[in-house]
């Protein structure tokens, strides 16, 4: 990255920011996506939430989603609670314990709140799905779920996994357009292009009493 700056080579950053590099940036609008996920869960009675992310150090998109999640919880202070869990291979056993504790807190609450997990990406989603299967928990019943990324297998797990589908094609087109413009004589100031994701609702985040 430093070499690009030093030699004046055009660059476009996709998904992850790089401090000190003046370049166009194209990504999912993580803040808006997280807000839509949280509101969807709140509307369906899930008010004991946990956001599971891979380690956020050095990865701007992960930090931004954590910030957005905390903002959502703060905006519902007194009506909802939330926590962030940083997942890694070393913390694998702790994740199952954390999800169980989340479910128990929701069951112990006196306001009929429900527990739900939000996954930061498909890697985390796979691990959560394995834990749910091993414990024989029912998604959309004992535990709600929404994940960032909508892999082709998401509809096949349990009642179907609700997900944020990232606008990958639109991100690619926008990044290519920015780079082509940078290679021409036109040199506009660095731009930030944040594109909306699509909340794909399936059975894992259904409201209480609704069929899978």
More confident residue, 1 or 23: 23
- Six-digit token string for 132: 């749910």
The CATH class for the domain spanning 29-166+198-205 reads alpha beta
Task: State percent of the chain over pLDDT 90.
Answer: 65
Task: Tell me which residue of 65, 81, 78, 45 sits closest to 205, measured CA to CA.
Answer: 45
Q: How much is the average pLDDT of 48-56?
A: 95
pLDDT-based confidence at residue 38 (cuts at 50, 70, 90)? very high
Mean of pLDDT over the chain: 89
pLDDT (tens digit per residue) in 178-203: 888 878 766 778 888 999 999 999 99
Q: Residue 152 has what DSSP assignment?
A: T
Cα–Cα distance between 140 and 132 in angstroms, integer?
11
The answer on pLDDT for 18 being more than 80 is no
CA distance 69 to 53: 11
Q: Starting from the edge strand earliest in sequence, which strands make up the sheet with 24-28, in order?
A: 12-14, 24-28, 192-195
pLDDT at 9 over 80: no
Euclidean distance between CA atoms 71 and 7, whole angstroms: 40
Task: Locate the DSSP E strands across the chain.
Answer: 12-14, 24-28, 46-53, 81-86, 114-119, 144-148, 162-165, 192-195, 198-200
pLDDT digits (tens, 9 = 90+) for 143-183: 999 999 999 999 999 999 999 999 999 999 998 888 888 78
Q: Which phi and psi (to 5°) does residue 54 adopt? A: -70, 165
Cα 139 to chain center, whole Å? 18
- Summarize pLDDT for 110-140 with one digit per residue, the tens: 888 999 999 999 999 999 999 999 999 999 9
Instruction: Write down the domain spans for the chain.
Output: 29-166+198-205
8 A C-beta contact, residue 194 and residue 152: no
Q: Which residue has the higher pLDDT, 38 or 109?
A: 38
Residue 78 has pLDDT above 70, yes or no: yes
pLDDT: is 188 or 80 the higher one? 80
Structure tokens at 52: 């599971």
Name the band, by pLDDT with cuts 50, 70 and 90, for residue 209.
Answer: low
SS3 state of residue 143: strand
């Amino acid at each position: 990255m430093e070499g690009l700056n030093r030699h004046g080579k055009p660059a476009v950053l996709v998904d992850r920011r790089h401090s000190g590099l003046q370049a166009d940036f194209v990504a999912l609008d993580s803040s808006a996506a997280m807000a839509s996920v949280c509101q969807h869960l709140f509307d369906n009675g899930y008010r004991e939430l946990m956001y599971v992310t891979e380690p956020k150090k050095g990865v701007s998109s992960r930090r931004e989603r954590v910030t957005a999640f905390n903002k959502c919880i703060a905006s519902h202070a007194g009506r909802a609670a939330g926590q962030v869990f940083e997942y890694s291979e070393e913390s694998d056993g702790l994740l199952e314990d954390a999800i169980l504790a989340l479910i128990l807190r929701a069951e112990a609450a006196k306001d009929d709140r429900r527990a739900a997990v939000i996954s930061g990406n498909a890697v985390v989603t796979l691990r959560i799905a394995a834990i749910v299967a091993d414990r024989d928990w029912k998604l959309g019943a004992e535990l709600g779920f929404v994940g960032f990324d909508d892999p082709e297998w998401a509809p096949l797990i349990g009642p179907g996994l609700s997900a944020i589908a990232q606008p990958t094609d639109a991100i690619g087109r926008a990044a290519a357009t920015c780079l082509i413009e940078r290679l021409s004589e036109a040199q506009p100031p660095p731009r930030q292009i944040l594109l909306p994701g699509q909340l794909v609702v399936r059975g894992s985040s259904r409201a209480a009493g609704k069929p899978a």
